[in-house]
């Protein structure tokens, strides 16, 4: 199929413009984070700072415990993912390969949860977490997210595709369900499990609403909430420091993405969604 | 007897997940429904049964109707144009081998940035005196806009920012859907003399329908629960012009401490989301055929 010359030029032109417009805010962010406050106040459109102020990053650390926030975020994300996998893999296995009464209704309960995000039922969830005495704890930040309808749905689709003959062979060899899951199901479904894990990390690294509601001390705060508090404390006076803090919050997840980009995009494009 | 028990053994695999699903999804919904029929606020420290009082209060609450209107505007305007452009860019990127990765990244990276960070960045971009948009308008000799500070533009400013955040995500899902569309169909249409636009309206758009459904569901979930950027960028203002349902629930619960009203709003939102789910699955069953899996 030959493309006409003007078509090719037009397409590349559109993609270049859109790509540039999308990326411009981020360049603006990096540039401001490295400028001195006085330069920001000159209403300049210049993207390259006159003087690179690396000290901005030192300054934000003096004003708020960003490293502590990062450690908390890592603990919370890892905790969520670990418990999610422990709950989701057996559930998805049962829905994909076992028969039991009430299966359809149970599956529906899991799937409906996809449409009912925590944000929608934040008030009663807050009341429950308060009753459980989990306000201002990392456990409280983790538990509401561990039962993932999305993960159960996604893994069930993959588990279903594993040939029945493998199961028969394993059962003849005397393996129980747990050994079958551990030695056959998990290794064969690795791409989907990896994809789910990445989506989970990317989602919960960004959580803002829940930590905002249930934490009010620095000890357990996560990065996003730390940033929100930092903004209030600065009250929008010093844009270069605010942007330095913003960049610090974005950097880990972007670095994580760049380090795993191949797996991320590839698994997303191949094993992710099929209709 | 033994056989009967045997059947239920599968529940061992489900119980841990079901427990947390119940504790943090279904129990809260039931509790919110019950509390929505109770008075529980700063005047009445313990929940007290009050019948439909909260719902009647909402019915006469002008802010509630404004919030509903804002939510619907936000949801529809953020979903459909974003979906359409995401599909167009996915098609354009799919046809370009050169520079493909660069285009994917430049569209996709906003999805990865925490919404809180993206919100801060856009507060700066929209800032009246120092923001890039107004500085740029001033350089062109155009009047500056109020963006987040003006009740006529605040909701739209949030929509633009949300578009920037979600476009790449939808684009990537579409790109994955396009891998299943056979190249030969395009060849055939090309030989028959169909132009670029015609090829895609007749082949891509219908064949990508299952992916579109998936994107639509994802988009609905993402936009109905919008909160972070509102709380950080406008706090629903000025004058509730950018207040949406989840933010209004937050305000009633955690700022005005009217738990009863917050719970009746929660119930309304849950019913709305469940009806939407039914509607979507009804439509999809009738109009979209899935490959057997």
Q: Which residues of A touch B291 (CB under 8 A)?
A: 274-275
Residue A193: CB partners within 8 Å, gap ≥ 6? Answer: A85, A89, A155, A186
What's the average model confidence in pLDDT over A80-84?
Answer: 95
The answer on A248 and A141 residing in a single domain is: yes
Pick B277's closest partner by Cβ from A23, A29, A112.
A112
The answer on A26 and A157 residing in a single domain is: no
Cα gap B162→B145, rounded to integer Å: 19
- The predicted pLDDT at position A271 comes to 43
Other CB atoms closer than 10 Å to residue B7's CB: what's the count? 13
What's the average model confidence in pLDDT over B179-193?
Answer: 79
Most confident among A38-42, A63-67, A145-149 (mean pLDDT): A145-149
The answer on A134 and A14 residing in a single domain is: no
- The predicted pLDDT at position B227 comes to 92
Cα gap B46→B260, rounded to integer Å: 10
Would you call B292 exposed, middle or buried from its count of C-beta atoms within 10 A (0-12, 13-18, 19+)? exposed
Cα gap A61→A56, rounded to integer Å: 9
Closest listed residue to residue A237, CA positions, set A27, A38, A30? A38
Tens digits of residue pLDDT in B198-216? 888 888 888 888 888 888 8
Q: Give the CATH number for residue A259.
A: 1.10.3720.10
A242 to B291: CB separation less than 8 angstroms, yes or no: no
Q: Under a CB-based contact definition with an 8 Å cutoff, are residues B124 and B130 in contact?
A: yes
Tens digits of residue pLDDT in A93-117? 999 888 888 888 999 899 888 888 8
- The predicted pLDDT at position B29 comes to 94
The answer on A144 and A49 residing in a single domain is: no
Better-scored residue on pLDDT, B246 or A56: B246
Q: Is the pLDDT of residue A44 over 70?
A: no
What's the average model confidence in pLDDT over A103-132?
Answer: 90
Q: Is the pLDDT of residue A218 over 50?
A: yes
A22 to B167: CB separation less than 8 angstroms, yes or no: yes
Exposure letters A230-251 (e unless 16+ CB within 10 A, then b): bbeebeeebbbbbbbbbbbbbe
CA A18 from centre of chain = 25
Pick A208's closest partner by Cβ from B92, B115, B259.
B115
Most confident among A160-169, B139-148, B157-166, B167-176 (mean pLDDT): B157-166
- The predicted pLDDT at position B292 comes to 37
Exposure letters A152-188 (e unless 16+ CB within 10 A, then b): bbbbbbbbeebeeeebeebeeeebebeebbeebbbeb
Q: Is the pLDDT of residue B89 over 80?
A: yes
What's the average model confidence in pLDDT over B220-248?
Answer: 89
The answer on A48 and A109 residing in a single domain is: no
- The predicted pLDDT at position B9 comes to 79
Helix (H) / strand (E) element for B47: namely: strand B44-49
The answer on A210 and A80 residing in a single domain is: yes
Pick A91's closest partner by Cβ from B14, B115, B120.
B14
The answer on A28 and A126 residing in a single domain is: no
- The predicted pLDDT at position A237 comes to 67
- The predicted pLDDT at position B286 comes to 67
The answer on A148 and A69 residing in a single domain is: yes
A165 vs B: CB within 8 A: no
Q: Which domain holds residue A41?
A: 5-53
Q: Which residues of B touch A146 (CB under 8 A)?
A: 20
pLDDT category of residue A274 using cuts at 50, 70 and 90? very low
A149 to B21: CB separation less than 8 angstroms, yes or no: yes
Domain count, chain A: 2
Tens digits of residue pLDDT in A233-262? 766 567 888 888 889 988 888 888 888 877
Nearest-Cα distance to chain B for A112, in Å, is 8
A273 to B250: CB separation less than 8 angstroms, yes or no: no
- Residues of chain A with pLDDT > 90, as a percent, come to 27
The answer on A168 and A99 residing in a single domain is: yes
Q: Is the pLDDT of residue A71 over 80?
A: yes
- The predicted pLDDT at position A236 comes to 57
Among A6, A256, A275, the residue to mutate for chain B (most B Cβ within 10 A):
A275
Q: Which residues of A touch B7 (CB under 8 A)?
A: 99-101
Q: Which residues of B touch A198 (CB under 8 A)?
A: none
The answer on A244 and A131 residing in a single domain is: yes
Helix (H) / strand (E) element for A78: namely: helix A66-97
Among B82, B97, B117, the residue to mutate for chain A (most A Cβ within 10 A):
B117
- The predicted pLDDT at position B265 comes to 94
Would you call A12 exposed, middle or buried from its count of C-beta atoms within 10 A (0-12, 13-18, 19+)? middle
Cα gap A225→A230, rounded to integer Å: 8
Cα gap A197→A205, rounded to integer Å: 12
Tens digits of residue pLDDT in B16-70? 999 999 999 999 999 999 999 988 888 877 887 878 888 998 899 999 999 999 9
Q: Under a CB-based contact definition with an 8 Å cutoff, are residues A126 and A213 in contact?
A: yes
The average confidence (pLDDT) of chain A is 84
The full set of domains in chain B, from first to last, is 57-286 (1.10.3720.10)
- The predicted pLDDT at position A275 comes to 31
The answer on A268 and A201 residing in a single domain is: yes
- The predicted pLDDT at position B63 comes to 93
The average confidence (pLDDT) of chain B is 85
- The predicted pLDDT at position B80 comes to 93
Q: Is the pLDDT of residue B291 over 50?
A: no
Cα gap A108→B292, rounded to integer Å: 19
What's the average model confidence in pLDDT over A162-169?
Answer: 81
Q: Which residues of B touch A118 (CB under 8 A)?
A: 24
User: CA of A261: which chain B residue's CA is closest?
Assistant: B105
Q: Is the pLDDT of residue A268 over 90?
A: no
Nearest-Cα distance to chain B for A171, in Å, is 16
Among A4, A6, A15, A260, the residue to mutate for chain B (most B Cβ within 10 A):
A15
Nearest-Cα distance to chain A for B67, in Å, is 15
The answer on A101 and A232 residing in a single domain is: yes
pLDDT category of residue A84 using cuts at 50, 70 and 90? very high
Q: Phi and psi dihedrals of B40, rounded to 5?
A: -155, 95
- Indicate left, alpha or beta for A235 from its phi (over 0: left) and psi (-120 to 50: alpha): left
A10 vs B: CB within 8 A: no
CB pairs under 8 A between A and B: 277
Looking at the DSSP bridge assignments, the partners of residue B38 are: B49
Tens digits of residue pLDDT in B239-286? 889 999 999 999 999 999 989 999 999 999 999 999 988 888 787 776
Pick B104's closest partner by Cβ from A205, A224, A265.
A265
- The predicted pLDDT at position A1 comes to 64
pLDDT category of residue A217 using cuts at 50, 70 and 90? confident
């Amino acid at each position: 199929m030959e493309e006409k010359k003007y078509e090719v030029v037009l397409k590349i032109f559109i993609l270049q413009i859109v790509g540039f417009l999308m990326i411009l805010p981020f360049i603006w962010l990096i540039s401001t984070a490295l400028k001195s406050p006085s330069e920001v106040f000159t209403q300049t459109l210049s993207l390259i700072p006159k003087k690179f102020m690396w000290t901005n990053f030192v300054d934000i650390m003096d004003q708020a415990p960003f490293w502590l926030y990062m450690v908390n975020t890592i603990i919370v994300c890892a905790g969520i993912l670990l418990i999610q996998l422990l709950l989701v893999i057996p559930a998805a296995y049962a829905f994909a390969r076992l028969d039991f009464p009430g299966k359809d209704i149970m599956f529906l309960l899991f799937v409906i949860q996809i449409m009912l995000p925590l944000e929608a039922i934040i008030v009663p969830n807050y009341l429950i977490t308060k009753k459980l005495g989990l306000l201002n704890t990392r456990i409280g930040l983790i538990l509401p997210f561990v039962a993932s309808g999305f993960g159960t749905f996604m893994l069930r689709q993959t588990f279903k595709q594993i040939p029945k003959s493998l199961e028969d062979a394993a059962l003849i060899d005397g393996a129980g369900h747990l050994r079958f899951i551990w030695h056959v199901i998990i290794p064969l479904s690795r791409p989907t499990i990896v994809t789910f894990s990445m989506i989970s990390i990317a989602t919960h690294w960004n959580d803002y609403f829940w930590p905002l509601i249930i934490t009010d001390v620095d000890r357990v705060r996560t990065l996003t909430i730390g940033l929100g508090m930092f903004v209030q404390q600065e009250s929008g006076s010093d844009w270069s420091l605010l942007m330095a803090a913003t960049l610090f919050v974005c950097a880990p997840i972007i670095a994580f993405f760049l380090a795993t980009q191949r797996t991320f995009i590839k698994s997303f494009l191949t094993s992710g969604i099929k209709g | 007897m033994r056989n009967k028990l045997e059947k239920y053994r599968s529940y061992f695999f489900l119980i841990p997940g079901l427990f947390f699903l119940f504790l943090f999804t279904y129990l809260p919904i039931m509790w919110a429904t019950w509390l929505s029929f109770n008075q529980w606020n700063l005047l009445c420290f313990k929940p007290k049964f009050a019948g439909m009082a909260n719902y009647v209060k909402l019915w006469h609450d002008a802010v509630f109707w404004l919030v509903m209107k804002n939510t619907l505007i936000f949801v529809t305007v953020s979903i459909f144009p974003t979906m359409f452009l995401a599909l167009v860019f996915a098609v354009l990127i799919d046809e370009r081998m050169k520079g493909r990765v660069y285009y994917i990244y430049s569209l996709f990276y906003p999805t990865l940035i925490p919404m809180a960070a993206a919100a801060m960045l856009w507060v700066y971009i929209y800032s009246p005196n120092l923001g890039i948009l107004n500085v740029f308008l001033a350089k062109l000799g155009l009047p500056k806009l109020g963006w987040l500070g003006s009740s006529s533009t605040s909701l739209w400013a949030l929509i633009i920012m949300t578009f920037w955040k979600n476009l790449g995500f939808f684009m990537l899902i579409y790109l994955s859907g396009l891998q299943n569309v056979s190249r030969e169909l395009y060849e055939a249409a090309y030989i028959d003399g169909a132009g670029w636009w015609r090829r895609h309206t007749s082949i891509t758009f219908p064949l990508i329908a299952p992916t579109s459904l998936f994107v639509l569901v994802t988009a609905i979930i993402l936009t109905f629960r919008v909160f972070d950027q509102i709380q950080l960028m406008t706090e629903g203002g000025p004058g509730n012009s950018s207040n949406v349902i989840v933010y209004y629930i937050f305000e009633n619960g955690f700022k005005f401490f009217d738990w009863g009203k917050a719970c009746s709003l929660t119930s309304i939102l849950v019913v709305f989301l469940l009806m939407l789910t039914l509607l979507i699955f009804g439509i999809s069953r009738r109009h979209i055929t899935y490959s057997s899996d």
